[in-house]
Amino acid sequence: MNQLMRILLALAVIITSPFINGCSKSSDSVSGELPTLRIGYIFSDHSLLSMVAAHQSEQFRGSGAYLETVTPREVYRLIGSNGDPVANIEMVVTNSGGEAANMLAQNQLDLSMFSVTVVMSGRDRNVPIKVLGPAHLEGNSIVFHRDTGVEDWDTLQDFIRQSNEPVRIGYISPTSSATVIIKTALTMNGISFTEDADDRNAEALLVNLRSTSNFMTALSSGQVHGWIGPSPFPMVAEHQGVGRIALDSSELPPDGYFVDFPCCAVVAREAILEQSPEAIRTYLELLRHTADFVNNNRDDAARIISEWIGVPEEAARRSTVYYTVTPTDGWLRGTEVLYNFLNDSGHFEGPMKGLEFEQVQSEIFDFRFIENL
């Protein structure tokens, strides 16, 4: 009898294990099986909300939606504010917004955080993804090597004007918000630029550094005079004594133009929005009160991002990023600036091409899940 009982118990574990450990499906099931949301994030504090929500996990119990840890940094269970399990969560590291967008298109991710401009480019190629809301406001800075003497807009402009060669400014992705910001700022302030290394007539040469991991080396080696990039990397450059933050993107002229400017947003593939709406809404609720926690507990947030991605805590503490999943007027105006820049520069070749911003908003945004949060 004991042997029979052991066999029956073993069979029970095998049969029920998918429900205990989570499932690989990304849709709600009539059997009551929890859906799984595969959440992508990048090693930058622009994805801080996802990392803090996971790091705090059960500590957010009582604040609304929270996560139960199954495997730290990898697998969690999303619990609703009523205490009921809503979804399994799998966290996936991605190297860039472009990679995350491709993974969403290939049904390898369900939700991620990356640049609004990457979403626009994806929609132009009929990639079925939508922006659910911002992940933060601003968060990009211009860093120059200390030897250049660049420390604000006036000294940056003087350095460019007085140089005998194009001033080399790095970026990490052709379609990132930071890249569009620097191109727009240079254009609006009458500074010519090129991406052709053989063009010696332009005042600035924009260099694709392809990854944040190349920032410090490119600056210290002289490959570039400076770069524009997301926090906390500008703060790390100063902490290491490699560079100096000349100005935040919000300080670029014209005055006030880049305030609340969009960068990374919460992005989901369209199919998951219809398959698992409760899971999506609950996760956004979690991100909303995580944003409140981060904005009000900067030292804790710095410690978490330091532990999670390995940047110095002192550098992370200097971040000025404001976190929210609610669009502001400035954020919405900034998305229009981004679209118009890409459109006017001939970036679009598909259905996003040649339209007014009002005509493409429904292609880019789906704000129904952040309503009443």
The number of angstroms, rounded, from the C-alpha of 23 to the middle of its chain's C-alpha atoms is 26
Of residues 43 and 355, the one with the higher pLDDT is 355
Please report the pLDDT score of residue 22 as a whole number. Answer: 38
Out of 232, 251, 270, pick the residue that ends a domain.
Answer: 251
pLDDT digits (tens, 9 = 90+) for 89-124: 999 999 888 899 999 999 999 999 999 999 999 999
List the CATH number of the domain containing 55. 3.40.190.10
Partners of residue 142 on adjacent β-strands: 228, 247
Which tokens belong to 356?
A: 């007014």
Is the backbone peptide bond immediately before 232 cis, with ω within 30 degrees of 0? yes
How many domains does the chain fold into? 2
Q: Does the structure show a pLDDT above 60 at 184?
A: yes
Same domain assignment for residues 180 and 323: no
Same-domain check for residues 126 and 205: no
Q: Do 40 and 95 share a structural domain?
A: yes
Q: Are residues 182 and 224 in the same domain?
A: yes
- 134 and 266 belong to one structural domain: yes
Give the model's pLDDT for residue 131: 98
Q: How confident is the model at residue 320 (pLDDT cuts 50, 70, 90)?
A: confident
State how far the Cα of 26 lies from the Cα of 38, in Å rounded to an integer.
8
183-195: b or e for each residue (b if 16 or more CB lie within 10 Å)?
A: bbbbeeeebebee
The arithmetic mean of pLDDT across residues 173-194, rounded, is 92
Q: pLDDT tens digits for 30-76?
A: 346 999 999 999 988 999 999 999 999 999 999 999 999 999 999 99
240 and 268 co-located in one domain: no
Residue 268 lies in a domain: yes
Residue 79 lies in a domain: yes
Joined tokens for residue 170: 């790095």
166 pLDDT higher than 90: yes
Assigned domain for 103 exists: yes
Q: How many residues are there in the chain?
A: 373
170 phi/psi in degrees, rounded to 5: -90, 160
Instruction: Give the whole-angstrom CA distance, residue 44 versus residue 371.
Output: 27
Q: With pLDDT > 90 as the criterion, what percentage of the chain qualifies?
A: 81
Q: Domain limits at 224?
A: 140-251
